[in-house]
Structure 1
Amino acid sequence: MGHDVVVVGSVNADLVLQVDRHPRPGETLLGRDAVTLPGGKGANQAVAAARLGASVALVGAVGTDPDAAVALSLLTSAGVDLTHVATVDWPTGLAVVTLADDGENTIVVVPGANAAVTPAAVDAAHDVVAGGRVCVLQAEIPLDAVGRAAHVAHRAGARVLLNVAPATTLPDDVVRLADPLVVNEHEAALLLGRPITAGAEGARDAAAELAARGPGSVVVTLGTSGVVGHEAGASWSWPAVRVDAVDTTGAGDAFVGALAARLAAGDALRDAAAFATRVAAASVTRLGAQPSYPWATNPLP
C-alpha cells in the first residue's frame, strides 16, 4: 500500500543566528544565540504532513557528517519513511538563517548532499514515488530530478504538488503536471517573467495567468495577507490567521505539508488551503521550522 504523501526534496541542517536586526551590507553585528536545527524544504514539508497524521515517505540524501543526525532527528520522531534517504560522501545540506527580532529572516542555503538527489535517485525510488497519493516537490534539489519525479508520479495517477521554491524557472512540461502549483509572490513573478502587483488582486491575476499555462490548479501564498487560489477557471481567496510572529522560518513549508496532508485525505483545494493557513500561523509562533510544526492533537489558531 502506498503512502498518503511522498516528498522528493532537500534535507538540511539549519544554523539559526538570532540578531536584533539584519546587518546592512559590509556591517558586522553581534548575535545573541546560535542553534542548529533540522531543516530543508523537503524535510520540513514531510515533517509537517506526518505530524498531522499523514503516512509520509521522503526521497532525499544526507552526508556522513554530524549534521546528518540533526537533519534526520524530527523526521524520525514524526514517523517519516526514510528508506530512500541516501547517505552520501558529501556534507549534509546547510542553511544559515539570520533571524531578527521582528520575526523576519534571511536564508543562505548550501546544497551539499542534496545535489545527490538526481533522476537516478528518483528512479531507484520509483515504486514509492509512483505509489503515493500526493507527490510533493520543491526546488532545493537538482531540477532534472524534480521533473523526473513529477512525470513518474503523474503517470502513476498521483497528484503532483509542485512548490517552486526557492524561486526558479522550470520547463513548461513539468509545470503543467502540477495540481496545485504553489508559489509565493516572488516565485510567481519569476515564473511569469514580470513583476506582479502586490496584494490579493495582483495575486489573483498572477494565479490566473499561471493557470493558463496548464497546471490543474494554482495557489499563491501571501504571508500575512492569506492565500489566493485558481482552479476550474475561477479564483478564490482565504485570509491569514493573525498571530504574534516569533520566527517565520519554514512557514511556507508548514503550509505545503499541511496542504498535501489534507489533499491526500480528500479535501477540496480551498478547504485544504484554509486548514494549511492555520498550520502555517501556528508554526510562526515558535522558534525554528520543524520544531514549530503542530501535531494533529495540538489546537490551531
Structure 2
Amino acid sequence: EGIEVNGIEKDSSYETGRAYIYLKRDGESTISIFPGANNKLSPEDIEKNQNLFKNCSYCLISTEIPEPCIKKVIEIAKINNSKIILKPSSRKEVSNEILKEVEILVLNKTEFKLLSKNKKNIDEGGQYFLKNGVKNIIITSIKDGYTFINEEKIKKFSPINFPSLDITGSSDIFIATLASYLTKNFKLENSIEIAIYAAAFSTLHQGPSNGLMDRTSLEAYIEKVNPDLLKI
C-alpha cells in the first residue's frame, strides 16, 4: 500500500502489544489491552526520529504509549506546525497540558463521559474540553451517530444503516480516514462524513483488517450517494 515504515523498530526483549477483543452477539465488543513493547517507548525514541515530522500537516496520536512520549510528540509536532489529532485510548484521564494542544479530539461515548469528569450531557462535556483548550471534539458511535463540537456549533451526523457484523476497529478506521482526508485539504466536516462511510463499511466484515476499504472503492460509492462530499 506504499506505507512508510521508517521509525518502526523491533526489540527482542519485549513482546508485541496486543488487544484482546471479545465480540458480543449484537456486534458490539469489549477490548483488553496488553501494551507490551508500547510501554517501552521513550521520549528519546521520539527525539531520534523527529525528521519524520517534517512536512506533516497532522500528527495522529493514540495514548496507548507512556505520557512523556505523548508530550514529546506534541512538542516536536508543534515545532513542525503539525496539528494534533488525539485518540485517548486506555486512559482514565488526559492532562490539561496535553488537551490544550489538541486540534481534534476523537473519542467514543464511554471515553467522553470518563474524561469529561462524568459531565451530565454532551453540552457540558463539550464545554469541559473546549475550556481546556481542545479546538474540535468528535464523539464516535457507529450505531447512534457521530457528534461534532467546537466553539461555533454542535452538529450531529446520522449513522449509516448498514447491517453490522463486527464493529471492532471501526473507530480506528474512522480516525485513519479522517486524518487521511484532512491531509488532502478536505474540509473538516466533509472529512468526518467520509470517515463515517469508511467506518460503516468496516462493520460488514468480521475482523478489523478485513473491513478496510480502499480509497477508490470508498469514493466510488460516495460519488453515487453524496458526491458533494468529495469536493475540496
Q: What TM-score do the two structures reach when normalised by structure 1? A: 0.69
1:96 is aligned to 2:15: no
Contact 2:99 2:129 in 1 (8 A): no
Amino acid at match of 2:32: V
Alignment of 1:18-29 (within 5 A): none
Structure 2 equivalent of residue 221 of structure 1: 140
Deviation of 1:234 after TM superposition, in Å, equals 2.0
Match of 2:206 among 267, 283, 287: 287
Pick from 59, 79, 94 the counterpart of residue 170 of structure 1: 94
Residue 5 of structure 2 corresponds to 82
Equivalents in 2 of 1:269, 1:80: separation in Å?
A: 23
Post-superposition offset of 1:93: 1.0
2:183 is the counterpart of 1:264? yes
> 1:172–1:114: structure 2 CA closer, same or farther, 3 Å change rule?
same
Q: Which stretch shows the higher mean deviation, 237-246 or 128-137?
A: 128-137
Normalising to structure 2: TM-score of the pair?
Answer: 0.88
| CA displacement at 1:130 relative to structure 2 | 4.1
1:154 pairs with 2:73:
no
Structure with the higher helix share, 1 or 2? 2
* Alignment map for 1:42-61 (pairs within 5 Å): none
Distance 1:129 1:169, change over 3 A: farther
Identity %: 21
Structure 1, gaps ≥5 residues long:
1-77, 197-201
> Which sections of structure 2, spanning at least 5 residues, go unmatched?
223-232
Map of 2:109 onto structure 1: 185
How far apart are the structure 2 equivalents of 1:255 and 1:141? 20
> Which whole-Å deviations, capped at 9, do the CAs of 1:269-288 have from their partners, x for residues lacking one?
21111111111101111111
Q: In structure 1, what is the equivalent of residue 215 of structure 2?
A: 296
Matches within 5 A, 1:65-144: 78-89=1-12, 90-144=14-68
Choose between structure 1 and 2: higher strand proportion: 1
Alpha-carbon offset, residue 259 of structure 1: 0.6
Structure 1 distance, partners of 2:91, 2:188, is 23
- Paired letter, 1:117: L
Q: 1:95 and 1:231 mapped to 2: Cα distance?
A: 32
- The answer to whether the 8 Å contact 1:251/1:281 transfers is yes
Cα gap change, 1:255/1:240 in structure 2, threshold over 3 Å: closer, same or farther?
same
One-letter amino acid of the structure 2 residue matched with residue 154 of structure 1: K
Residue 221 of structure 1: how far off its partner (Å): 1.4
Structure 1 segments, 4+ long, off by >4 Å, are none
User: How many corresponding residue pairs?
Assistant: 219
